[in-house]
A and B are shown apart, each in its own frame.
Chain A
Amino acid sequence: MVILKDMENPLHSRSDAPSGLRARSWSPYLVGAGIGVLSWAAFYFVNKPIGMSTEVSKLSGWFASLLVGMERVTSNGYWSGTTPKFGYETIFLIATALGAFLSSMRSGTFAWEKVPSVWSARFGNGVAGRMIAAFVGGIIILYGARLAGGCTSGHGISGTLQLAVSSWVFFISMFATGIVTAALMFRSGKS
């Protein structure tokens, strides 16, 4: 079978399939190695590991400043140490979005999506339910990331690769509750 043969060699591509940036996807091993090399560059050139959740909480501070003023935000115990101002991490966040956008345009995978297929197979096509879950999930995930001191990038990749104890504990804890949550949510799901 062609499928199985191709799986044996993840770097093999059929001659008629688009390659490079036009490909719909790359081998996960290639992508992982790429992120690893990106980590070398981040450590070497700017002495700053890759991370995302710190910037998101800075954005929280920026939004909060629109409501209560920047003075009250910077007097907060958390934001006084993580001041919400435009900088390296802001550019990194925007550029990450831009990179994903350009990549999806190039390969034709860009698509407006309200309800993903795994969700709709279990919970139906209702938009409201999916949006509520995403919103609540977003609140929980960032609160968790701040409590632990990092996210899948800062802890899950940048921290584990330095053999940080905190990051490996985070990694295991995250998988444990993720698996339980998925088992409860998709108990009677078909696919």
Chain B
Amino acid sequence: MNFPLSTSSATGLLLAGVFGLVFGTLLEKGRVTDYNVIVNLFRFRDFTVLKIMLTAILVGGIGVAVMMRGGILEGWHIKEMNTLGVILGGGLFGVGMVLYGYCPGTGVAAIATGSIHALVGFLGMVVGGVLYAVTFGWVKSAILPVGAAGKTRLSDATGIPEFAWWIVLVAVSLFVFRMLRKKTGSPAERAGNLNSFE
């Protein structure tokens, strides 16, 4: 079988199910289906989310970069750098994430662990999607073109080569992990560590 598969092929759809099951399990075991864990990141009381995200970026990114260099991946999937849209969108996202207590992925997972307020927030997300579609004409002409820089990567934008970025990211992450280890973290975080995976 040749890879990548089409996402509309039977095997592709089956893989969507497998990847989703794994993703949902990881989110639940990572305790990011818990409102308290997510909100406490923004209050500097629980760094579980940061640890998960940084580790995912390092492991995922270095692996993908190696596979890309080896020529076994089709290509990058970079999202457009529409400067104003990304800054405003990211800013709104941060406000929404603290109010909701979840992001889209963890919200979906949290509903399935019994969080009723995650379900209510999901309905809010559906409304948000409608609002975006309704205002899309205006967004497309007034927001997205402002500072549009295309599908650019850090290495292209700065001229600093990719491997140098990875050296910096690994170094900064290891430093952060070390600092967090010295901090004792929240009681919930300690309880989480007591029952950690062997």
Contacts and interface: CB of A to CB of B under 8 A. Distances in A.
Interface string A152-179: 1111111111111111111111111111
Contacts of B81: 164-166, 169
Interface residues on A, range: 35 or more
Given A138-B120, A173-B94, A99 B25 contact: yes
A140 B96 contact: yes
A75 to B, nearest CB: 11
Interface string B130-141: 111110110110
B36 A31 contact: no
Interface in A81-135: 87-89, 91-104, 107, 109-119, 130-131, 133-135
B94 A96 contact: no
Secondary structure of the B contact surface, majority rule: helix
Interface string B39-70: 11111000011011111111111011001000
B89 A76 contact: no
Contacts of A87: 7-8, 13
Interface string B12-44: 110111111111111111110111100111110
A188 B126 CA distance: 32
B147 to A, nearest CB: 10
A134 B120 contact: yes
Contacts, number: 557
Given A104-B114, A151-B103, A99 B20 contact: yes
A64 B28 contact: no
B77 A162 contact: yes
A43 B106 CA distance: 21
A120 B5 CA distance: 47
A61 B125 CA distance: 12
A148 B113 contact: no
Nearest to B88: A147
A11 B55 CA distance: 15
Given A134-B120, A139-B128, 4 more contacts: A36-B58, A63-B130, A116-B117, A177-B93
Interface of A: 2-4, 6-8, 10-14, 17-21, 23-50, 52-53, 56-61, 63-64, 73, 76-79, 87-89, 91-104, 107, 109-119, 130-131, 133-183, 185-186, 189
